[in-house]
Amino acid sequence: MRSLYLAAPTQGGNMAVELELASVQNQRIKDLVKLRDRSARDKNNTFLIEGYRELLRATEKNYPIEQLYICRTLFLGENEETLIASISSRGAQIFACSEEVFRKISYRDRPDGLIGVAPQCHLTLSDLNDILKKKKTPPFLLVAEAIEKPGNLGTILRSSDAVGLDALIICDQCTDIYNPNVVRASVGTLFSVPVIETSSKEALKWLQEHQIGILAATPSAEKEFTQVDMRVPLAIAVGTEQLGLSKQWMQKADLQVKIPMCGMADSLNVATATTLLLYEVLRQRK
């Protein structure tokens, strides 16, 4: 059951055509719920962007949004209508949902009434060539090998944005960057950090060809991470939560560093350890 109506003018002054969705049985709603699963995301090459802040950052970076699902009774702020008008003016279809419908498609406990559907964007190592050609300072890259937890990947994106990283290279990915919890933990910085997807084999070959040093953190290193020169062309490599970097990366690392551990634990959370290394580059390159 779907009814159509011409919506009242939005606060932004635009006349946006809105379709109304009031039934959770609607096939469109069922398809949206499926986008929480990677298989459906991969099949459709789309993903969900939930939340005002996340959608705002996507539009700030001119990221295309195909559909926008809204629920006005759930809005938390005052600028939602401006954002809706902006997304609508770029060609997105707007769907006004009942609260029941919206809560069905939302993956948050406290939804804020805004969910977009956007095409996935996949960058490769040849895109990275173009990115680095435009740069005048030494390359500053991060390689994340097989990170499992979406929250960690999102936090790594957030820190990558904060240090102005050239690109994040994701190798042998376990969690795809379009997982709703990655989008969420990244707080929308997914749209500002170029993410290259490839295999460890290809990434290692590319880094070697471009003479970019690989830095790996390991408890067995002699030097602390604040004691090596990070002003050179650099790719920091980090591995899985459980096992750290794989042998193939560890063996090819040009620099090995340790993060001092003064307590009972032998490792930090992978996202916090990554952030320490990223900010050390920033400190040294100032």
The residue ranges that bind a second copy (CB under 8 A) are 57, 60-61, 151, 155, 158-164, 185, 187-189, 191-193, 226, 259-265, 268-269, 271-272, 275-276, 279, 282-283
Alpha-carbon distance of 67 to 282, in angstroms, equals: 38
Alpha-carbon distance of 59 to 51, in angstroms, equals: 12
> Which residue has tokens 């990223």?
278
Name the minimum Å distance from CB 277 to a second copy.
10
C-beta of 15 vs 261, nearer to a second copy: 261
Q: What is the DSSP letter of 239?
A: -
> Which residue has tokens 């936090």?
155
C-beta of 80 vs 280, nearer to a second copy: 280
C-beta of 178 vs 225, nearer to a second copy: 225
Name the minimum Å distance from CB 102 to a second copy.
22
C-beta of 85 vs 277, nearer to a second copy: 277
Alpha-carbon distance of 114 to 83, in angstroms, equals: 10
Q: How many CB atoms lie within 10 A of CB 256?
A: 17
Name the minimum Å distance from CB 154 to a second copy.
9
C-beta of 193 vs 255, nearer to a second copy: 193
C-beta of 124 vs 137, nearer to a second copy: 137
C-beta of 21 vs 156, nearer to a second copy: 156
Alpha-carbon distance of 248 to 271, in angstroms, equals: 21
Q: What is the DSSP letter of 31?
A: H
Task: Collapse the DSSP code of 131 into the 3-class scheme (helix H, G, I; strand E, B; otherwise coil) and give the result.
Answer: helix
Name the minimum Å distance from CB 202 to a second copy.
26
Angle ∠(87,89,90) on CA atoms, nearest 5: 70
Name the minimum Å distance from CB 203 to a second copy.
23
Name the minimum Å distance from CB 99 to a second copy.
23
Q: State the burial class of residue 24 (Cβ atoms within 10 Å of its Cβ: 0-12, 13-18, 19+).
A: middle
Alpha-carbon distance of 94 to 7, in angstroms, equals: 10
Query: What letter represents residue 110's amino acid?
Result: R
Name the minimum Å distance from CB 96 to a second copy.
27
Task: Take residue 204 and report the two structure tokens written for it.
Answer: 């290692």
